[in-house]
Structure 1
């Protein structure tokens, strides 16, 4: 409350306008791998006026509240953008000075010493593409243990070895089999502890070539449907229909990792509607500060430029989650889910492909779960 204005307001018998300030705080953050790399704070206020006996408040300041909101938004956006550009320039200068001319092992050591670097993705990409001719798999294993984000930079062919739960990834099974562990025992373990994936014919050939038995590979494939299809104690002689196979991909609650864009009633989940209506962005409203933070990213030219597509995807993914209400809201407004993207793609393609809103829903879901569109394209 502006007390000076308020006293004049009382003294003039409510003819002169009284004013008060509405405060806004805005924060912009850049995150990667669950860590905050950069944060910018900005604040501002919008002054409002009120009078009782005369329209004097209309002649002070801006008449339209939207104009005041836009001015505040632009101001905070400009401050975020300036701070962000300064940080990016400083990060790039350090990166260029300290990494230029270094060989791949020196780059890796630099990343170990500077794990929060904005340009970590560039080095991880270099590590993934400059593999030694000998012991390529060992190189990947070592880098995965050092940098969990390294997996995102592997080719589809190399990523195959890291499919599966921790401790029982494909490469762990290969090492265990080579170490003398019975593959029958491994098969019994993985069938209840997956999921893995439905391997292509070429992938199966590669797994066989690495020393894994057909029984073990079959158990890995069967693990995809174990949790969603309860095992009956009574054997059934009725054939399983394609519809039953598709239904088995779905978890009838929100306990899975990937939420179904549709609810059990066959309508779009609230988080999907929210994302579609927002068009994966924010709108000016009472949360002017949040809007400023988001728009600052939209206007910074480095995203998609020298920062690289990987960081751009990280930023876009975070913005999409925010526009959909946050991961907690996404889970709360979903009543069906899936264990992996392949199951999700197969189910959506079989059940919802003919829906008029299929494309919009899939685009919204792909922004939250990157790779869904690719899985849809390859699903049978």
Structure 2
């Protein structure tokens, strides 16, 4: 039985490296004449484990060789370059494995004059640059493209009505929950309290408005139900799919993930073992790729085991705008379900951070 294995390293939608390996498992039979005589491997699980280990070794070796070549090229080409030359090199080599090193250099070599302009220029060139900014500088780049905080400051200074800006950002968001110090800095930059409040509210749906045709007493329970209803999107248009359907049963993608146990969905003992190895022992070496890449590979494998992102969305009829909304709703509505833990583990593999949000949900 022949098997093929492929390992891919990707950054966003771009494939940086691909390694392919192959292996096979020989079947076995038993003949009684007069005692049992086994021909071939006695235990297919051992055979599949040996084969998967060999394929992972091939992947590791190929990856190490590729990283070594990338590192040598990077060291040779970047040696002696000043910060502007490094930036130009990154513009010319956007897929470099060591792009993060240059981005970190750009963020740490901020000019004394017009530092914000330096950051804006770099953000326009490299969207990932924001991740390397200090918390203080990153504040100005919170929000969606075209309406980041710094864009709103510019618009307000040009005379655009802040009431109009508030309506726009509340509809487009999200931004973040600003600290008291950040609010003080935003106010100092010229943004109004109403605009800042709209930024904080962005990305959330207001609670249902009371019916103006009748006056009805609202019980605490009804109020809670309205709050929960505001958290939930009654279709699959949100960013985060609900593990439960509107009928109160687990979505098909959750059942698939639980039954697959993040590996057996590959369809064979060899595939299950290889998938488990890919999740638990990602063969990234040194500090070149980092834990974030490893986590993303694990998430990719989890999505695959759940049927793929399109399947997850197609088999969901409820969704949420944020992990916090999902956590609050699920904790209130489904925490007593017998399959709650399994469903949350499956969902957390697809949407990392859900368990953390659950821990802090009220």
Q: Report the CA distance between 1:30 and its aligned residue.
A: 0.8
Number of matched residues? 358
Give 2:304's aligned residue. 322
Among residues 90, 93, 118, which one is paired with 1:114 in the alignment?
Answer: 93
- Once the two structures are superposed, what CA deviation does each residue of 1:81-120 show, in whole Å capped at 9, x if it has no partner? 2212211222222233333554443333222222112222
CA contact (8 A) 1:346 1:376 kept: yes
Gaps in structure 1 of 5+ consecutive residues:
1-21
Structure 1 segment 143-292 matched on structure 2, within 5 A:
143-226=122-205, 234=212, 241-275=223-257, 280=262, 285-286=267-268, 288=270, 292=274
3-state SS of the aligned residue for 2:287? coil
RMSD (CA atoms): 3.9
Q: State TM-score, norm by structure 2.
A: 0.79
> Which residue of structure 2 aligns with residue 17 of structure 1?
none
CA–CA distance in structure 2, aligned partners of residues 351 and 338 of structure 1: 14
Q: Once the 2 structures are TM-superposed, how far is the Cα of residue 180 of structure 1 from its aligned partner?
A: 1.6
* Counterpart Cα distance in 1 of 2:25 and 2:308: 27
Matches within 5 A, 1:298-313: 298-299=280-281, 302-303=284-285, 305-313=287-295
* CA–CA distance in structure 2, aligned partners of residues 47 and 64 of structure 1: 11
> Is 1:76 equivalent to 2:58 in the alignment?
no
Q: 2:323 aligns with which of 341, 348, 358?
A: 341
- CA offset at residue 222 of structure 1? 4.0
The 1:321/1:283 distance shift into structure 2, 3 A limit, reads: closer
**Map of 1:18-97 to 2, 5 A cutoff?**
22-48=1-27, 59-97=38-76
Task: Give the SS at the match of 1:241.
Answer: helix
Cα separation, partners in 2 of 1:286 and 1:312, compared to 1, 3 Å? closer
Q: Is the 8 A contact 1:303 1:311 kept in 2?
A: no
Task: Give the whole-Å Cα distance in 2 for the aligned partners of 1:253 and 1:346.
Answer: 18
- Displacement, 1:177? 1.0
- 1:224 partner SS: coil
Which range is displaced more, 31-40 or 158-167?
158-167
For the Cα contact (< 8 Å) 2:142–2:148, is it kept in 1? Answer: yes
User: In the TM superposition, what is the alpha-carbon distance from 1:246 to its structure 2 partner?
Assistant: 3.1
Paired residues of 2:49 and 2:273 also in contact (CA < 8 A): no
- Deviation (angstroms), 1:208: 1.9
* Partner-residue secondary structure (3-state), 1:216: helix
Which whole-Å CA distance do the structure 2 matches of 1:30 and 1:124 have between them?
A: 20
Task: State the 1:29 CA deviation.
Answer: 0.5
Deviates more, 1:229-238 or 1:267-276: 229-238
Q: Where does structure 2 lack aligned partners over 5 or more consecutive residues?
A: none
Higher relative CO (CA 8 A, sep ≥ 6), structure 1 or 2?
1
- Pair 42,329 (structure 1): closer, same or farther in 2 beyond 3 Å: same
Matched, 1:365 2:344: no
**C-alpha distance in 2, partners of 1:146/1:232?**
47
Please tell me whether the aligned partners of residues 85 and 300 of structure 1 are also in contact (alpha carbons under 8 angstroms): no
The CA deviation at 1:31 is: 1.0
TM-score (norm 1): 0.76
Q: 1:234 to 1:159 in 2, by over 3 A?
A: farther
